[in-house]
Chains A and B, each alone.
Chain A
Amino acid sequence: MSPEVKPDFLISPEGLRVDGRRPDELRPIELKVGVLKQANGSASIRQGKTYIIAAVYGPRELHPRHLTLNDRAYLRVTYRMATFSVPDRKRPAPSRREKEISMVIANALKPALFLEEYPKAVVDVHIMVIQADGGTRCAAINAASLALADAGIPMRSLVPAVAVGKADGTLLVDLGDEEDKYGQGDVPMAILPQTGEITLLQQDGFFTREELLEAMQMGINSCNYLHELQKDALKRVYVRNPEDGEDTFDDDLEADLGESEIMEDE
């Protein structure tokens, strides 16, 4: 994998991309919720070769104390890449890029969260990139929002995110590593699907006004699809495992109504 060479073309004569996808096609995505036992909430995402784990701790007591916010919880996001996540070993010290992406992810997630319910506390989101193959910041947002929901932190909505880019003059959804490196531009974006609010929009490279608007529309469509995947992944946690032999729980809801009364006082 080491000496990387620029591929001859990013878009084949048939209009397909280096990995055979159509321009508006996402890579295969696998979302898992509750992958870590120790964390309050966790999720992992595989998106093509990108593999990221996100863990949420808290709300818990904030240290150091001087960061305390009196009206809401502090959202602390740490995005880190494993040393082995890229072909040339990444030096383990936090890089400028990692710090910036941490901040960007925090800003993308913050509008979705009801942090004011936990004043003075902290919500820690730790994101570890195990394997990087382009689109890590967007994949990280996808995983982090699932982990936050898994931790039981109140939020307006899940936050799907996707990167749109341009290579060989064609707009592409969900850039892979080569398209990111050798393409002409990259627009990562995240939205709140209900309202269509955009919580992350960055751009590098050159886009005309029309291209950018079209790219954003493609991104919004992909985000809506991703949102469905996220909802499925969350609900899957509570689909019962068949080896219990008790797959009739759902059917006898009426028989057990009494117990629902107790739960409302908690």
Chain B
Amino acid sequence: MAVYFQKREVVVPGQLLADGRYRPSFGTYDESGKIYSSLMGLAELKGNTVKVVALDGVYIPKEGDLVIGIIKLVAGNNWKVDIGGPYGASLHANNALRRPYSDDISEYMDMGDVISAEVSAFDRQSGPFLSMKGRGLEVLEGGMVLEVSPAKIPRIIGRRGSMINMINDHLRIDSVVGQNGRIWIKTSDVDKLRLAIKAFRMIEAQAHTSNLTDRINKMLAEEVAKLSSSEPAEEPSVEVETADEKEPIEVDTASESEPEISEVPESESESEVEVIEIEEPVEEESEPEASTDVNNESDDKSEKEEVNE
């Protein structure tokens, strides 16, 4: 009956963590009543459950996860979606579109499109299935996708979204964080985009350290101050939207004046959904490819909202 590690100590595979009446959990294994670590990571004791938080690793889908996927193939009524990691996902049209929909589902989403979706089912026999019925699950237009290690995502979200909200507040960017290690960032300002990338990379590199939120906060505050002093003319004028290929495709006025609404459901819940929505009707009109889908989604959204309340 003893614990052989300190709180959040870095442990290596095979290290003895505890013996006696403790319960092995993620990242550990039990052998003749003793609990060993199976990963390199940070050991934690919660109640009498011992677990190891991995410092690295690929994305293994889990039901309820919000993920950012890239459509690889349109196959009949399915989209095959790359969500990173060893398992490719599929998304059935019924789980994304409102019926009736056209026979050719590539009209709605085609190869190369970036989507936010939820993992609706995954077991070891049949690969992960996605669903796009839910608020904020949509085609992500414009912006860029940043890849980080999936093991660092909980840290990037922070407790109840504290980290990501702080970053969004500082930089006034739109972002969606997927559990699969992809972060979608959209902003009109290249400097802010750079700063956001710098912040995410910093979190990734220092995820195992403490007081990270404070340090990121400080860093961003300083950098933002530098930015605004160098170019004080940051009036709400022109927004150049960046497409996936980072070409400016559209000029949009009056976007700065619209407040962004960030929604962060409890991150302790199974779905650590981090959604930032920008209700910009102007944009939807200007991007006709997305319109059908977006309409469907907004309907779904209102439904879901009622359910939530």
Contact = CB atoms under 8 A, between A and B. Distances in A.
Interface of A: 40-41, 58-62, 73, 112, 114, 117-122, 149-158, 192-195, 230-231, 234-235, 238, 240, 246, 249-250, 252-253, 255-256, 258-266
Contacts of A60: 58, 85-86
Given A118-B60, A264-B53, A266-B153, A259 B272 contact: no
20 contacts: A40-B58, A60-B58, A150-B40, A150-B56, A151-B57, A152-B56, A154-B27, A246-B209, A249-B210, A252-B210, A253-B8, A255-B211, A260-B7, A260-B8, A261-B159, A262-B267, A263-B44, A263-B154, A265-B267, A265-B270
Given A154-B27, A240-B209, 13 more contacts: A60-B58, A119-B124, A120-B87, A149-B12, A152-B41, A152-B58, A157-B13, A246-B209, A262-B154, A263-B42, A263-B154, A265-B268, A265-B272
A252 B211 contact: yes
Residue of B7, B16, B211, B270 contacting most chain A CB atoms (<10 Å): B211
A228 to B, nearest CB: 11
- Complex A-B, nearest 3 residue pairs according to Cβ-Cβ distance, in ascending order: A157-B14, A152-B57, A121-B86
A235 B12 contact: yes
B38 A114 contact: yes
B159 A156 contact: no
A260 B6 CA distance: 14
B238 to A, nearest CB: 37
Q: How large is the interface on B (under 10, 10 to 19, 20 to 34, 35 or more residues)?
A: 35 or more
Contacts, number: 143
B12 A266 contact: no
Contact of B55 (A121, A152, A262): A152
B10 A58 contact: no
Contact of A156 (B26, B38, B215): B38
A252 B7 CA distance: 11
B44 A259 contact: no
A262 B268 contact: yes
A238 B10 contact: yes
A55 to B, nearest CB: 14
B57 A263 contact: no
B133 to A, nearest CB: 22
Nearest to B38: A154
Contact of A152 (B16, B40, B159): B40
Given A114-B29, A152-B55, A266-B53, A259 B38 contact: no
Contacts of B213: 259
B86 A61 contact: yes
Interface string B1-45: 000000110101111100000000011010100001011111010
